[in-house]
Amino acid sequence: MNNETQQAVEAATFRRLLEHLDKNKDVQNIDLMILADFCRNCLSKWYMAEAQERGEEIDYEQAREIVYKMPYSQWKDKYQLPATDEQLAAMQARQTK
């Protein structure tokens, strides 16, 4: 696979990941952090860092809107649930590994 094709495949895969996360809003960020040590916010930070590395001016909230497909505050109000005691305990256990 040449470099151009590889980059196109990687970009399409990223878009597909964002679409998958968008279709599964019931998957909470804390669940992603517990299982995979990254979440939608991490993707937003990575997106912002990569854009800035390439000379593009984008802030964290703009990157979040790309990842969440809406302003984060709106997504949080509509879809984010309070963390359960079990989730918090699992997150704490993950952080102490």
Domain count, the chain: 1
What is the spatial distance between Cα 49 and Cα 76, in angstroms, rounded to a whole number?
Answer: 23
Average the pLDDT over 73-83 and give the result: 96
pLDDT of 8 higher than 90? yes
Q: Which helix (H) or strand (E) holds 78?
A: helix 72-79
Structural domain range at position 59: 3-95
pLDDT, tens only, 12-48: 999 999 999 999 999 999 999 999 999 999 999 999 9
For the whole model, what pTM was predicted? 0.90
Average the pLDDT over 69-80 and give the result: 97
What is the spatial distance between Cα 85 and Cα 11, in angstroms, rounded to a whole number?
Answer: 37
pLDDT of 93 higher than 90? yes
pLDDT confidence of residue 97: 76
Of 45, 11, 15, nearest to 29 by C-alpha is 45
Q: Domain containing 72 — which CATH number?
A: 1.10.3340.10
- DSSP class of residue 35? H
What is the spatial distance between Cα 53 and Cα 49, in angstroms, rounded to a whole number?
Answer: 6
pLDDT confidence of residue 74: 97
Average the pLDDT over 73-93 and give the result: 96
Query: Please, which residues have CB within 8 angstroms of residue 1's CB and are 6 or more apart in sequence?
Result: 9
